[in-house]
């Protein structure tokens, strides 16, 4: 089959790779000059199969209300005059109960396990290097109450087959001694998942895109998708901006295929809505800061989650990436607003606090080379992505991976390639879009 994949983030590139593996003819389109230059570029790097709880749980509404006026809140809902935001918020509220939570966790665990295996297969087949560290993920706590709640969550996750342990402070610091100085005073304990891992999503995705090209994919980078043309409830064409040297009166070219997969992250929602497919995917803005490591022997190897600030820290080669916070406020990717600066400062301050002197956190004006970044998580009210066939014939979607797109990327690509090839249920226990 001829398949066009729209979007070359981790999800689109994994989709392309698995389609090629199955012998399909693939065209991959992205507006950026290379793969993984939007949300897949600067994330926390965690392959977080065993930390996959959805945002929506019984206590979330009250917690979010309390956070609403705090600039540094981990999750900030900033009301906009935007019906899509309010609709998404209402759907999210509908998920804030025990029954929905358990249902959502079960699906995320199923997708995570499938995806981890798919990632291992891709890595062993391609030999891609991406600063991978297979030492697990640790979550440390500075509040006894939060640790107790986390211990209860461990029990729940065990019921879903997730192997997560509760650790005392000493056990945690023995696994990751980098936090010893600060941690002995502040950490009260933690949890740990030995089978999780980390790595740089951008390096991985760009390398996999090159493998796709080698396998014969047609790569259309620097090309914006302007529209999907539907006739009689079937995709007729995809209109993309013309490349240099292409002769097109309208400055667009149209592409035809047997299947079109929309994998445009947060931008999938408006694109799909333009052809009557209405999916609740809303951008959840997050930030990261990447600092050069000055003391490699003192920097952490295990990727961690800091419960107090709700940020993740991951070693990526010679740098440390710290990432976190969520803002639900539309498609705003600015880094130079007071709010964005406050959130970036929070990440920097936390690194200075918990790992003093380990990284070069100086600003550019002070002679440092910090890299601050923001990206839009394609968030769904359930945290479960939409993978499958839309109600428009030949139109498929692989989007809405929210906070776990790197974790679920390989598996989501493999699953949609299987569905397009005719498999009905590639992941047991997962609800595919359009499945009978
Ligand atoms: C701060 C932060 C930390 C995170 N940490 C983690 C983590 O530790 N682990 C984890 O699993 N996940 C993490 N995530 C989530 C993860 O990064 C995302 O879920 C994932 O990158 C989404 O991938 P995607 O391919 O769907 O979207 P994207 O990477 O955004 O790719 C979509 C692509 O579509 C293209 N596109 C969009 N519209 C058009 C158009 N009209 N024409 C042409 N091209 C178009 C874009 O250029 C882009 O390349 C984090 C996210 C953030 C923001």
Does residue 142's CB lie within 6 angstroms of at least one atom of ligand 1? no
Distance CA 134, CA 72 (A): 31
Stated as kind and residue range, the H or E segment containing 289 is: strand 282-293
Does residue 13's CB lie within 6 angstroms of at least one atom of ligand 1? no
What is the mean pLDDT of each successive set of 10 residues along the chain, which is 436 residues long?
Answer: 98 98 98 98 97 93 86 85 94 96 95 98 98 98 96 91 95 98 98 98 98 98 97 97 71 95 98 98 98 98 97 98 94 95 96 98 95 98 98 98 98 98 95 89
Does residue 401's CB lie within 6 angstroms of at least one atom of ligand 1? yes
What DSSP state is assigned to residue 217?
Answer: P
The sign one gets for the Cα dihedral 374, 377, 381, 383 is negative
Does residue 383's CB lie within 6 angstroms of at least one atom of ligand 1? no
Contacts of 7 (CB under 8 A, 6+ apart): 29, 30, 262, 263, 264, 265, 267, 268, 399
Return the pLDDT at 249: 56
Number of domains observed in the structure of the chain: 1
Does residue 7's CB lie within 6 angstroms of at least one atom of ligand 1? yes
Report yes or no on 319 lying in a domain. Answer: yes
Residue 198 bridge partners (DSSP):
46, 133
Distance CA 358, CA 352 (A): 8
Report yes or no on 165 lying in a domain. Answer: yes
**Please, where are the H alpha helices in 237-378?**
268-273, 338-354
Domain that holds residue 371: 55-99+132-196+281-379
Cα–ligand 1 centroid distance for 343 (angstroms): 20
Contacts of 341 (CB under 8 A, 6+ apart): 335
Return the pLDDT at 243: 81
Cα–ligand 1 centroid distance for 12 (angstroms): 10
CATH of the domain at 188: 3.30.9.10
Residue 286 bridge partners (DSSP):
375
Q: What's the token pair of residue 430?
A: 């997962």
Return the pLDDT at 203: 98
The sign one gets for the Cα dihedral 44, 213, 394, 330 is positive
Report yes or no on 234 lying in a domain. Answer: no
Report yes or no on 185 lying in a domain. Answer: yes
Distance CA 26, CA 396 (A): 14
Return the pLDDT at 399: 98
Collapsing DSSP to helix, strand or coil, 14 comes out as helix
Return the pLDDT at 415: 98
Report yes or no on 139 lying in a domain. Answer: yes
Return the pLDDT at 247: 58
Report yes or no on 161 lying in a domain. Answer: yes
Report yes or no on 39 lying in a domain. Answer: no
Phi, psi for 193 (deg, rounded to 5): -125, 105
Report yes or no on 192 lying in a domain. Answer: yes
Q: Are 82 and 335 in contact (CB under 8 A)?
A: no
Return the pLDDT at 250: 65
Phi, psi for 55 (deg, rounded to 5): -65, -35
Cα–ligand 1 centroid distance for 397 (angstroms): 14
Q: What's the token pair of residue 162?
A: 């997730």
Cα–ligand 1 centroid distance for 376 (angstroms): 7
Return the pLDDT at 67: 86
Does residue 12's CB lie within 6 angstroms of at least one atom of ligand 1? yes
- Exposed, middle or buried by CB within 10 Å (0-12, 13-18, 19+), for 124? exposed
Ligand 1 pocket test: which of 119, 204, 267, 408 has the largest number of ligand atoms within 8 Å of its C-beta? 267
Does residue 306's CB lie within 6 angstroms of at least one atom of ligand 1? no
């Amino acid at each position: 089959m001829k398949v066009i994949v729209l979007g070359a983030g981790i999800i689109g590139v994994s989709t392309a790779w698995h389609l090629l593996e199955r012998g399909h003819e693939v065209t991959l389109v992205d507006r950026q000059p290379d793969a993984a230059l939007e949300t897949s570029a600067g994330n926390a790097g965690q392959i977080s199969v065993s930390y996959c709880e959805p945002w929506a749980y019984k206590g979330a509404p009250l917690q979010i209300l309390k956070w609403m006026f705090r600039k540094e809140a981990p999750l900030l809902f900033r009301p906009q005059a935007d019906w899509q935001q309010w609709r998404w918020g209402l759907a999210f509220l509908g998920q804030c109960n025990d029954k929905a939570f358990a249902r959502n966790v079960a699906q995320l665990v199923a997708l995570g396990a499938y995806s981890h295996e798919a990632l291992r297969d891709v890595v062993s087949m391609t030999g891609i290097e991406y600063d991978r560290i297979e030492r697990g993920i640790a979550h440390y706590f500075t509040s006894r109450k939060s640790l107790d709640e986390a211990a209860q969550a461990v029990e729940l996750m065990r019921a879903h087959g997730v192997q997560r342990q509760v650790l005392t402070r000493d056990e945690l610091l023995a696994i990751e001694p980098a936090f010893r100085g600060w941690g002995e005073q502040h950490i009260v304990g933690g949890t740990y998942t030995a089978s999780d891992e980390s790595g740089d999503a951008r390096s991985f995705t760009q390398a996999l895109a090159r493998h796709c090209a080698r396998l014969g994919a047609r790569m259309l980078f620097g090309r914006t998708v302007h529209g999907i043309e539907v006739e009689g409830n079937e995709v007729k064409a995809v209109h993309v901006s013309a490349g240099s040297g292409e002769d097109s009166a309208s400055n667009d070219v149209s592409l035809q295929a047997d299947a079109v997969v929309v994998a445009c992250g947060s931008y999938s929602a408006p694109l799909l809505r333009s052809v009557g497919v209405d999916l609740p995917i809303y951008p959840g803005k997050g930030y990261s800061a990447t600092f050069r490591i000055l003391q490699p022997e003192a920097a952490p190897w295990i990727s961690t989650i800091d419960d107090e600030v709700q940020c993740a820290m991951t070693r990526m080669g010679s740098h440390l990436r710290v990432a976190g916070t969520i803002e639900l406020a539309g498609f705003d990717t600015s880094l130079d607003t007071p709010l964005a600066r406050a959130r970036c400062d929070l990440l920097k301050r936390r690194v200075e606090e918990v790992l003093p002197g380990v990284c070069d956190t100086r600003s550019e004006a002070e002679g440092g080379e910090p890299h601050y970044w923001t990206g839009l998580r394609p968030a769904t009210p359930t945290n479960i992505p939409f993978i499958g066939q839309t109600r428009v014939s030949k139109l498929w979607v692989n989007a809405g991976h929210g906070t776990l797109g790197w974790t679920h990327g390989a598996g989501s690509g493999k699953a949609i390639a299987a569905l397009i090839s005719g498999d009905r249920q590639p992941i047991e226990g997962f609800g595919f879009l359009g499945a009978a």
